[in-house]
Chain A
Amino acid sequence: MNDKELLPWLEKATLGDESAFQLVYQATHQDVYRTVAFLVYNKQDIEDIVNEVYMHMWRSFHKYDPNRPFRFWLHGITVRLVQDWKRKTWRRIRLFERNRQMTCEQQFDWTDKAVLQSEMQHELFSLVRQLSYKLRVVVILRYFHDYALEEIADMLQIPVGTVKSRHHLALKQLRKRHERTGGDVYVH
């Protein structure tokens, strides 16, 4: 279902039509979930954020400009909520420490088996997961969602120059690590 077909359903859903909600959820949940799962690794956190994205979607649908693609708006909400979540985590240092411990101890518990498997099969993907968040979010928006660098700048509310340098840095790191492990990537 494309954006235009989805819009009337979205509007109905915000007015309280539950079948419209179901339809919107079915049409968008994989995309939202995957976007969040590329950026955040804790299973519980991913689910919390996905839930938040939907709450946000209903509450601020009136702010959505129908002249712009719906998915751009949706990804904007998603990225913003992921960033909010990260900020909160940093603020609550103790919780952060606990999270870090959990990350170390239970790495194999919370990581999806499927993700682990694709990490083994896809070397570049596993390298992307090792990038810092700031670089990773640019890579995901550029290569998973196919946004132009200008659009990414708009979505992240940072200057285009910053996006360009992060994009450049991310690719540089990926190439370097990839070559070190013997990947067949051509530098161009």
Chain B
Amino acid sequence: MSIDKQLREELREAADSMNCPPELYERARQSYQHYVNEKRGKSPMKKRMLAGIAAVAILIPSAAFAASYLADDIFGSSSTIEQHGGTQEDYQEIEGMLQAAKGKLTEDEFQEYMELTKQLMQLKLKITDENGVKHEEKLTKEEQQQFEQLASKLAPYFEKINGTAKP
């Protein structure tokens, strides 16, 4: 008998006597389950990580935007003043004014200033048509009073901002 043939025969016979232990099935099944779970739902940890990354990705730009545009707090967006004959440059100018106020006033003062400015601007927007022309007669008597009150309340802030206030 050639060695080739004998090798084949003996390996075949030896293989027949080597049997895979039955308990290995359970182990392979568990690994398989693990694979399926991994493939289907990802792990809960992975899900949380993804949600976290998504949240950060959304928060970062909106935080940066909110910090840079104070004027948005007052008008909502630049399109509001564009509807009343304003331009992007005007908007930037107002923004610059507000930024300057933020730098010079204390936090409490600034909040008050913003609130008053907001009310004043609402009234100003009301009397300004789409071409930027003012029509003060549009205001009611009460509104005119309110306007004047706001202007007088804001005056000391303006002095502070422009550096004319006396200590």
For chain B, the bracket of interface size reads 20 to 34
What are the interface flags for B47-77 relative to A under an 8 Å C-beta threshold, 1 for contact and 0 otherwise? Answer: 0000000000000000000000000000000
Contact of B3 among A33, A34, A178 (CB under 8 A): A178
Is B29 on the interface with A (CB-CB < 8 A)?
yes
With an 8 A cutoff between CB atoms, is A18 at the interface? yes
CA distance A21 to B28 in the complex (A): 10
Does A184 make an interface contact (CB < 8 A)?
Answer: yes
The yes or no answer to B165 lying at the interface (CB within 8 A) is no
Partner of B10, one of A25, A32, A125, A188: A125
Asked if A59 is at the interface (CB within 8 A of a chain B CB), the reply is yes
Q: A115 an interface residue at 8 Å Cβ cutoff?
A: yes
Contacting residues of chain B (4-31) with chain A, CB-CB under 8 angstroms: 4, 6-8, 10-15, 17-21, 24-25, 27-29, 31
| A174 to B3 CA separation, bound complex (whole angstroms) | 9
A122 on the interface (CB 8 Å rule)?
Answer: yes
- B36, A16: Cβ atoms under 8 Å? yes
- Is A124 in contact with B10, judged by CB distance below 8 angstroms? yes
- Does A55 contact B31, Cβ atoms closer than 8 Å? yes
Question: Are B19 and A30 neighbours in the complex by a CB distance under 8 Å?
Answer: yes
The one of B6, B15, B24 in contact with A51, judged by C-beta atoms closer than 8 angstroms, is B24
Whether, in the assembled complex, B158 has its beta carbon less than 8 Å from a beta carbon of chain A, the answer is: no
Total inter-chain residue pairs, C-beta < 8 Å: 103
- In the complex, whether A137 has a CB less than 8 A from a CB of chain B is no
In whole angstroms, what is the CA distance A186 to B36 when docked? 53
Contact call A144/B32, Cβ cutoff below 8 A: no
The answer to whether A55 touches B35 (Cβ under 8 A) is yes
**In the complex, A79 Cα to B8 Cα: how many Å?**
19
A interface, how many residues as a size bin?
35 or more
With A171-B3, A184-B1: A122-B10 Cβ-Cβ less than 8 Å: yes
Contact of B11 among A25, A140, A178 (CB under 8 A): A140
Instruction: Name which residue of chain A comes closest to B7, CB basis.
Output: A143
The answer to whether A51 touches B11, judged by C-beta atoms less than 8 angstroms apart, is no
**Cβ–Cβ contact B7 & A139, under 8 A:** yes
Cross-interface CB contact of B32 among A18, A114, A118, A121, cutoff 8 Å: A18
Per-residue interface assignment for chain B, residues 33 to 55, with 1 indicating a CB less than 8 Å from any chain A CB and 0 otherwise: 10110011000000000000000
Contact A114-B10, Cβ < 8 Å, known A29-B24, A51-B24 = no
Given A143-B8, A188-B2, 17 further pairs, Cβ under 8 A? A13-B32, A18-B32, A18-B33, A18-B36, A29-B28, A30-B19, A30-B20, A33-B20, A51-B28, A59-B35, A112-B18, A114-B17, A122-B13, A124-B6, A124-B10, A139-B7, A144-B11
Can you give 12 contacting A-B residue pairs, CB < 8 Å? A16-B36, A18-B33, A29-B25, A33-B20, A33-B24, A34-B20, A50-B24, A58-B35, A118-B13, A123-B10, A125-B14, A188-B2
Identify the B interface with A (CB < 8 A): 1-4, 6-8, 10-15, 17-21, 24-25, 27-29, 31-33, 35-36, 39-40
